[in-house]
Amino acid sequence: MRFFIVYDSTHKKFKPTRELDGTEWRANYDIPERLESIKETLKSEYSNAFVGPMEFPESYINMTHDVAYVEWLKERSENLEDGEEYFPKVFGWYDHCFDNGTPLLKNIFRYAWNAAQCALTGAQLLIDGADAVYVLTRPPGHHASATLCGGYCYFNNAALATEYLVFSDNAYVAILDLDFHHGNGSQAIFYERSDVLFLSIHGDPRYFFPYTGYAYEVGFGEGKGFNHNVPLPSGADGRLYLKELEMLCNTLMRFDPDYVVVSLGLDTHAEDPLGGFELTDRDYYGIGRVLSGLGLPTLIVQEGGYNPEANARAIKEFFKGFLK
């Protein structure tokens, strides 16, 4: 199997320190260590698979993000001081953000674009003949829509890679979102499309951020029937999760895509501080086996996962199953 891991150490410079949780300040969980623990684990077994990102024209951001939003993010980023954290105003149209937990820092535009280029690199590697690519990058992306950041996300890495595959290779693509939190941004970007199938397993939207992803959200217009959400209750274990994943993959195979893009969140782990499921290390081996069984060129984009130690153990089991 031709397998690559796309990684860029620039992400370590992105260090948000806090966020607003309702009316309370708390530590920001998107810390560099959550990726570095994964990198160190994979380096020991797959060191030859690591590659750096390619460079792409900055205009590629506009494949999935509106010009006004991109310009806003760039301007805000450039006008901040070192160490300053700006929290967007979510009321009215002053800022392009839907929550209080996604601070803007100096150079956030560059950090987010670097993450997006890692995902685009993964897509290009698939087009060039790779069987599977893992994009180990942050900040994550699946909550970012065409016009809004939020949920720690600024540019939608998985969506950009998907659009790149569609237009560069005239492809049909399935996005399988396996983060604990619903990928509302990815869903919104492709909600009226029939050339991209969006499927997601996530926490019950009645109780969990971003409070979207109900089963009745099935797409609109040309995209009706090409959006599938499977919300699971708090405390869902690996047995239930894998059962639902296998059924969702049956739906995916009926779509007959050319490529699969997986938004992989490790915040489904029982030890994650922001999740609500009870998956164990061994369950990720099972997830890897299910995805391997699809037999399709697969781009795996890292999303959430906020316990560095649990992330490292989970990803090790995942690739044991996926690359077996």
Conformational region of residue 221, where left means phi above 0, alpha means psi within -120 to 50, and beta covers everything else: left
Task: State the CB neighbour count (10 A cutoff) for residue 233.
Answer: 12
**What residues contact 192, with CB distance under 8 A and at least 6 apart?**
219, 220, 221, 222, 223
Is the bond preceding residue 308 a cis peptide, omega within 30 degrees?
no
Tell me which long-range contacts 15-23 makes (C-beta under 8 A, separation of at least 24).
Answer: 15/105, 16/85, 16/103, 16/105, 17/85, 18/85, 18/103, 19/87, 19/100, 19/101, 19/102, 19/103, 20/87, 20/100, 20/101, 21/100, 21/101
DSSP 140-186: --TT--SS-BBTTBSS-HHHHHHHHHHHHHT--EEEEE-SSS--HHH
Per-position b or e across 162-192, b if 16+ CB within 10 A of its CB = bbbbbeebebbbbbbbbbbbbbbbbbbbbbe
Helices vs. strands in the chain: H and E counts, helices first: 8, 12
| Spatial contact of 317 and 281, defined as CB atoms under 8 Å apart | yes
Q: Name which of 287, 306, 299 is nearest 38 in CA terms.
A: 306
Q: Is 11 a catalytic residue?
A: no
The neighbour count for residue 63, using CB atoms within 10 Å, is 19
Distance CA 290, CA 75 (A): 43
Q: Give the active site residue among 65, 143, 181, 228.
A: 143
Catalytic residue numbers read: 143
